[in-house]
Structure 1
Amino acid sequence: MRSSEPHIGIDFGTTNSAVALYRPGQPVELARFSFRGEQSPACRSVLYFEQHKSPAGLRRVHGYSGPEAIERYLDADEKGRLIQSLKSHLPSRSLTSTEVFGRRHRVEELVARIVADLRKQAESQFGLPIRSATVGRPVRFVGSESFEDDDFAVSRLREAFLTAGFEHIDFELEPIGAAFAYQATLQHDELILIGDFGGGTSDFSLLRVGPDIRARGRRPEDLLGNSGVGLAGDAFDARIVRKLVSPALGSNSEARSLNKILPAVPAWIYANLERWHYLSFLRTNNVREILKSAHARALEPEKIEALITVIEGDLGYQLHQAVQQVKFELSRSDRTQFHFCDGTAHAHTIDLRIPVTRAQFESWIADDLATIEHAVDALLKSANVQPHEVDRVFLTGGTSFVPAVRNIFTTRFTQAKLRGGNEFTSVAQGLALRAASAP
């Protein structure tokens, strides 16, 4: 690309995606997406399929992505098929496709549908055709066990973008994208550590940035090292559901069976609560019979009744919005109340109000925090860099607000060195700037 051309950066995320445009000499512009009448630069990385009957009696399947997919899902009386977290499946060679209303769709095809809609929305807003972009990728994909798995994931992602109408794609590590966003604010060169916390991955890069480096052009030796782990915000949410929500819905409850006391409900049903879009899979006759029998035998039938309400109402999205809210509140205070209320017109209602402390939450994610700590320490060791040699630490992504996560960096680098900003869009913005610097 010539330096005078507009440049596009795309952060295709596990949970949210963003598109940024950089026109030389102008501020970076973000595409905006409408949800319930409000505009946001973040677009949910989801697909929703539903069937419609034509006047002739034929059933046709319609697909939607992003905020429109969420709106259609929430407004539907009879739920269709909601698909989320497609990015986390890209390293898997065993998961190649899924069936939606009788038709099989390859994972690449599904990703392409989201990406194509992102491209069309950005084209409409920016007023220009988009055929080339610099696209972010994590240091380590969720579920990846080797560099070969990561390469496989990138190849599938490339295919999806080409299918979506792109002609040229450059991939860049997501923390490097965040580094370019931070570099644009600097008046002098720095050695920085970037921590990028997405929905599915936590990625770290150690590199030198600044105006002098930008002027001479980046060199391979400016990047001192990368590390990453396949867990972040989604994993934290799952811990809250497992430790706080599921017990209120009977995960620890017991039932009488032939004069024996046994678990009331199989554990695998509660495992599906930990990812909100998996809840739809529980609305089957088999699960209904299991829960009906459990409710009749349970020592705490009111908890099983609440679980039935959540499943039959397909309230996974609402449940996880409440989980996100309690995580946000615990980032600001030492204690709060988890509140989840069924606001729909079902035969039964549910109103969970559970006190929770930050200390409890931090105990639930202790193993995850240790994994993140190990990744940071391993990066410093492999680069032969001491913490005091790092000038700044730039943290981005929603999970970077969690105090226990921030503490990992304050204890190693001091609070004074921590920086943040545009936590949900800095990667996309930086990728657009990265595109401008490419030869």
Structure 2
Amino acid sequence: MTACGLDFGTSNSTLGIAGPEGTRMIALEGRHETLPSAIFFDFETHHPAFGRAAINAYVAGGEGRLMRSIKSVLGTSLIDEETLLGRRRVGFREVIGLVIRHIKATAEAATGVELTRVVHGRPVHFVDGDAAADARAEDALADIARASGFSDVSFQYEPIAAALAYEAQVTREEIALIADIGGGTSDFSIVRIGPDHAAKPDRAGDILANEGLRIGGTDFDRLLSLEAVMPHLGYRSPLLRDGLLTPNHLFVDLATWAKINFLYTPGVLADVRRLMREARRPELLERLAIVLEQHLGHALAMRVEEGKIALSDHERVEIDLALVEAGLTAPTTRERLGVAVADPVQRLATQTRDCLTQAGLRADQVDAVFLTGGSTLLPAVRGAIIGAMPGARIVEGDKFGAVGLGLTIEAKRRYG
């Protein structure tokens, strides 16, 4: 029986094992140690595909349903609800369980050992400002892990796990701010680390502050989509009646990963067709109808995500919308993205300062800022975090693997 550290993420997941020889991360898909947290239910074969294979099956036009960012239902009422997959209804707990069981089985096949003990990663807050809902979310994830075959389940905050991964590479004592900006949540910890601290059986005294927000990469995707893409589908376009605009909820749901599938119903499509007759520019809503009719929502969201990532390196990009209409593009800029995400970015800056206050530290007392999570690549996000402590050394962590490695280090400490 072997212990492992499991980072089940909103966008990507990793797993590492802790054995007598040390810790190591496991390739979960081909040579990749990361598995996109995606599942595609094939309505013809009735077999699910996972990760990149799931996304490829969806893009190839297979008859079925893609689900991404399913971790985001933890802490919401959706966790105890069901969703329609073909002709059968499946609970969201079962969907998450399928992904976790796949990760566990893949790792066991690769290592030849049974995984029974797990340190599961969790955000500082699944739910902002609701301790009871937060506890229910952890309980739900623990129940799913046990149902997936883990007999011993414990949790560690994801930024603390990232701190343990960073600690493995430092040679002297430091006070570090850990910023883990993932797909669904943003988490901050201030931790005292160093070689002399790593061997302590209890690290509670080294954790100086923990803060977190339910803000992440999928929120930035949604805001960029509403700013740059959805207007091409009729978002906020005028109706024939003076002063009225198209209703927002259709476009907000289409821009939100976890809600896209709920739009694929005859009733929603009929509403859009009726709306076209009331619109000053019905050709825009015709594009929306095409997206719903052909189930292009996730493919559209992927284009937006690709555009967001490209803006980390380029000042201007053209988001390709040819899947909706030949030659259609949505030009956007880094500045425009910055405007779209200004509110959540400001909240991240505030959270960083609150973390300092909780730790009782001045900004100049923090030695290093350790950045992990894919959204730390966004210039606006980096600026908000780094700007709070300009004198600290910036350390670039493994954007998708640092948390999983830290959880595995913690699994070795807890389970031997």
| Fold shared per TM-score above 0.5 | yes
Q: 1:150 aligns with which of 103, 115, 134?
A: 134
Q: Secondary structure at the match of 2:350?
A: helix
Matches within 5 A, 1:334-413: 334-342=315-323, 349-413=325-389
Q: Does 1:51 align with 2:43?
A: yes
Residue 229 of structure 1: how far off its partner (Å)? 0.3
- Relative to structure 1, the CA distance from residue 187 to residue 8 in structure 2 (aligned partners, 3 Å threshold; closer, same or farther) is same
Compute the RMSD of aligned alpha carbons.
Answer: 2.4
For the residues of structure 1 that align with 2:75 and 2:334, how far apart are their CA atoms? 34
Is this contact kept in 1: 2:41–2:65, CA < 8 A? Answer: yes
| TM-score normalised by the chain length of structure 1 | 0.87
Determine the structure 2 residue equivalent to 1:232.
216
Identity of aligned residues (%): 31
- Deviations along 1:378-417, one digit per CA (max 9) or x if unpaired, are 1111110111111111010010011111112332222761
- Relative to structure 1, the CA distance from residue 128 to residue 281 in structure 2 (aligned partners, 3 Å threshold; closer, same or farther) is same
| TM-score normalised by the chain length of structure 2 | 0.91
- Relative to structure 1, the CA distance from residue 212 to residue 104 in structure 2 (aligned partners, 3 Å threshold; closer, same or farther) is same
Q: Gaps (5+ residues) in structure 2?
A: none
Residue 105 of structure 1: how far off its partner (Å)? 3.5
Determine the structure 2 residue equivalent to 1:120.
105
- Relative to structure 1, the CA distance from residue 6 to residue 417 in structure 2 (aligned partners, 3 Å threshold; closer, same or farther) is farther
Determine the structure 1 residue equivalent to 2:251.
270
Q: Does 1:179 align with 2:163?
A: yes
For the residues of structure 1 that align with 2:359 and 2:25, how far apart are their CA atoms? 34
Q: What amino acid does structure 2 have at the position aligned with 1:122? A: A
For the residues of structure 1 that align with 2:271 and 2:402, how far apart are their CA atoms? 46
Q: Secondary structure at the match of 1:32?
A: coil
308-317 vs 384-393, greater mean Cα deviation: 308-317
Q: 2:281 aligns with which of 268, 290, 300?
A: 300
Residue 102 of structure 1: how far off its partner (Å)? 5.3
Number of aligned residue pairs: 414
Determine the structure 1 residue equivalent to 2:81.
97
- Relative to structure 1, the CA distance from residue 137 to residue 350 in structure 2 (aligned partners, 3 Å threshold; closer, same or farther) is same
- Relative to structure 1, the CA distance from residue 264 to residue 417 in structure 2 (aligned partners, 3 Å threshold; closer, same or farther) is same
Q: Does 1:40 align with 2:32?
A: yes
Residue 12 of structure 1: how far off its partner (Å)? 0.6
Q: 1:109 aligns with which of 94, 108, 132?
A: 94
Q: What amino acid does structure 2 have at the position aligned with 1:287? A: V
Is this contact kept in 1: 2:2–2:113, CA < 8 A? Answer: no
- Deviations along 1:108-142, one digit per CA (max 9) or x if unpaired, are 3322111100001111122222111211000011x
329-338 vs 221-230, greater mean Cα deviation: 329-338
- Deviations along 1:214-253, one digit per CA (max 9) or x if unpaired, are 1344432111110000011111111011111111111122
For the residues of structure 2 that align with 1:216 and 1:102, how far apart are their CA atoms? 54
Determine the structure 2 residue equivalent to 1:55.
none
Determine the structure 2 residue equivalent to 1:57.
none
Is this contact kept in 1: 2:316–2:332, CA < 8 A? Answer: yes
- Deviations along 1:37-60, one digit per CA (max 9) or x if unpaired, are xx43221223333434xxxxxxx8
Is this contact kept in 2: 1:45–1:85, CA < 8 A? Answer: yes
Is this contact kept in 1: 2:364–2:391, CA < 8 A? Answer: no
For the residues of structure 2 that align with 1:356 and 1:370, how far apart are their CA atoms? 21
Q: Which of 1 and 2 has greater Rg?
A: 1
For the residues of structure 2 that align with 1:94 and 1:70, how far apart are their CA atoms? 23
For the residues of structure 1 that align with 2:400 and 2:79, how far apart are their CA atoms? 29
- Relative to structure 1, the CA distance from residue 327 to residue 417 in structure 2 (aligned partners, 3 Å threshold; closer, same or farther) is same
Q: Does 1:426 align with 2:402?
A: yes
Residue 210 of structure 1: how far off its partner (Å)? 1.2
313-322 vs 22-31, greater mean Cα deviation: 22-31
Q: What amino acid does structure 2 have at the position aligned with 1:420? A: E
Residue 278 of structure 1: how far off its partner (Å)? 3.2
Q: Secondary structure at the match of 2:387?
A: helix
Q: Does 1:188 align with 2:184?
A: no
Q: What amino acid does structure 2 have at the position aligned with 1:14? A: T
Q: What amino acid does structure 2 have at the position aligned with 1:120? A: A
Residue 6 of structure 1: how far off its partner (Å)? 5.5
- Relative to structure 1, the CA distance from residue 99 to residue 297 in structure 2 (aligned partners, 3 Å threshold; closer, same or farther) is closer
- Deviations along 1:131-167, one digit per CA (max 9) or x if unpaired, are 11211000011x4432222211111111000000111
Q: What amino acid does structure 2 have at the position aligned with 1:438? A: R
